[in-house]
Amino acid sequence: MSTPTTKSPGHARLARRCLEVITGNQAPSGAYPACPSYEVYRYSWFRDGSFIAEAASRGGAVHSADAFHRWCAKVVTDRADRIERIVAARAAGEQPADADLLPTRYTLDGTDTGDIGWWDFQTDGYGTWLWALTEHLRRHRGDPAPYREAIRLTVGYLAATWDLPCYDWWEESKEHRHGATLGAIRGGLAAIAGAGLDNTGLGARTVTQIESRVREGGMHDGHLAKWLGSEAVDASLLACLTPFASVDPAGPVARATLSAIERDLVEPEGGVHRYLGDVFYGGGQWPVLAGLLGWHYARVGRTDEARRELEWIASHATADGLLPEQAPSATLLAPKHLARWEERWGPNATPLLWSHAMYLILAHELGVSI
Ligand code: BGC
């Protein structure tokens, strides 16, 4: 397990290091591995990669973000037939074949991973990709033309599959429809529609359907719920507030969601657990989620708390500025489960590129010069 430094490096220095870790590990294809040194994370996820590309785009590594987005577009257009089959099956009221449903992760060359014995069907990453692509094109005045076909296919795919149960952000609970998944899909479709990149109106219609579905079954006690019908929260729901703005980030539903997450999952000194009942590596605190929480705090003007999360992430960097998936010295929800995961897969994944991305995004939000 990596040892955290007691003194964190300056934020500008760590932010630059994050950018270096991101660009230095990017494959020639444009794909970002989730973690280059952790056996089962040597793949590229649309979910992780989209946030990583957002960080690269903000940090001025425009070519890196471009290359990732082009890689995503190719992954999608290479599977046009498969997507059209899914769309046709859903239009006929049928369940698409499991083998047709798009995976969450690919090899760095953009091929399916094949059967590696790991659960796969997750739709959130495709929504997150549409959102990150739109942000990147807007920020750098990019030309959307090379992406039009991939956007068309992705909008069609999400419109056809958003209502299917699938694995959540944590690749668990596949029998449910998850709040964060719906938020990511809605966020991506709304971004594309808002940027005028979907002239069919399909994305905008799907946004309306998702919103009414969440209003009817995806809330409990005034807050967004972990899945439709659940009473619990999950820290991934933070993304529905910021960046996806599924609900008004400063409005009552966002406030209630944030309060429930703060009550159940946020540690007073900073750091955020995924959900109550998490046992993965003992259920520690995730820099990715601290970054998401800080980003939301920054957006609603709670700057001191945003800085607290930035500090907390930095305090868990290794001496050479690498960030883990879970803070090694974190408070654990289920300590007796830690050894089991360490025996199975070794120490928790470091460097996790998504952790670096979220630190960089939060640093950027807080005006740290990169
Ligand atoms: C996490 C996913 C993530 C993947 C790669 C999994 O353990 O649950 O959210 O996409 O690792 O980082």
Q: Whose CA is nearest to atom 7 of ligand 1?
A: 170
Q: Is the pLDDT of residue 3 over 80?
A: no
Token digits for 25?
């590990």
- Residue 45 CB less than 6 A away from ligand 1: yes
- Residue 234 CB less than 6 A away from ligand 1: no
For a substitution probing ligand 1, which of 107, 169, 173 has the most ligand atoms within 8 Å of its CB?
169
* Alpha helix (H) residue ranges in the chain: 11-24, 46-58, 62-77, 80-91, 124-139, 148-161, 179-194, 202-217, 238-241, 252-265, 287-299, 303-314, 338-345, 353-365
Q: Are 334 and 283 in contact (CB under 8 A)?
A: yes
pLDDT digits (tens, 9 = 90+) for 94-144: 999 888 899 999 999 999 998 777 778 999 999 999 999 999 999 999 999
pLDDT digits (tens, 9 = 90+) for 302-339: 999 999 999 999 999 999 999 999 997 778 999 999 99
Q: 9-365: which CATH topology?
A: Glycosyltransferase (1.50.10)
Q: Are 32 and 25 in contact (CB under 8 A)?
A: yes
Instruction: Give the Cα separation of 303 and 305 in Å (integer).
Output: 5
Q: Is the pLDDT of residue 5 over 70?
A: no
Distance of CA 211 to the CA centre of its chain: 20
* Residues paired with 227 in a beta bridge: 178
Instruction: Give the Cα separation of 190 and 140 in Å (integer).
Output: 20
Ligand 1 atom with the smallest distance to the CA of 125 is 10
- Residue 169 CB less than 6 A away from ligand 1: yes
φ, ψ dihedrals at 4, nearest 5°: -75, 150
Residue partners of 150: CB distance under 8 A and separation at least 6: 72, 73, 74, 76, 77
Measured in angstroms, how far is the CA atom of residue 201 from the centroid of ligand 1? 32
Task: Report, as residue numbers or ranges, the catalytic residues.
Answer: 168, 171, 325
pLDDT of residue 9: 53
- Residue 41 CB less than 6 A away from ligand 1: yes
Model confidence band, residue 68 (pLDDT cutoffs 50, 70, 90): very high
Look at the chain and count its residues: 370
- Residue 298 CB less than 6 A away from ligand 1: no
Ligand 1 atom with the smallest distance to the CA of 170 is 8
- Residue 171 CB less than 6 A away from ligand 1: yes
- DSSP 3-state of 26: coil
Token digits for 334?
């289920």
For a substitution probing ligand 1, which of 25, 325, 341, 355 has the most ligand atoms within 8 Å of its CB?
325
Instruction: Give the Cα separation of 227 and 211 in Å (integer).
Output: 14
Q: Whose CA is nearest to atom 6 of ligand 1?
A: 170
- DSSP 3-state of 266: strand
Instruction: Give the Cα separation of 357 and 365 in Å (integer).
Output: 12
Residue by residue, DSSP assigns 109-120 as: TS-B----S---
Q: How far apart are the first and last CA of the chain?
A: 28
Q: Whose CA is nearest to atom 2 of ligand 1?
A: 170
Q: Are 293 and 266 in contact (CB under 8 A)?
A: yes
Ligand 1 atom with the smallest distance to the CA of 47 is 10
pLDDT of residue 114: 81
Instruction: Give the Cα separation of 29 and 73 in Å (integer).
Output: 12
Domain boundaries along the sequence of the chain:
9-365
Residue partners of 315: CB distance under 8 A and separation at least 6: 4, 5, 6, 8
pLDDT digits (tens, 9 = 90+) for 273-303: 999 999 999 999 999 999 999 999 999 999 9
- Residue 354 CB less than 6 A away from ligand 1: yes
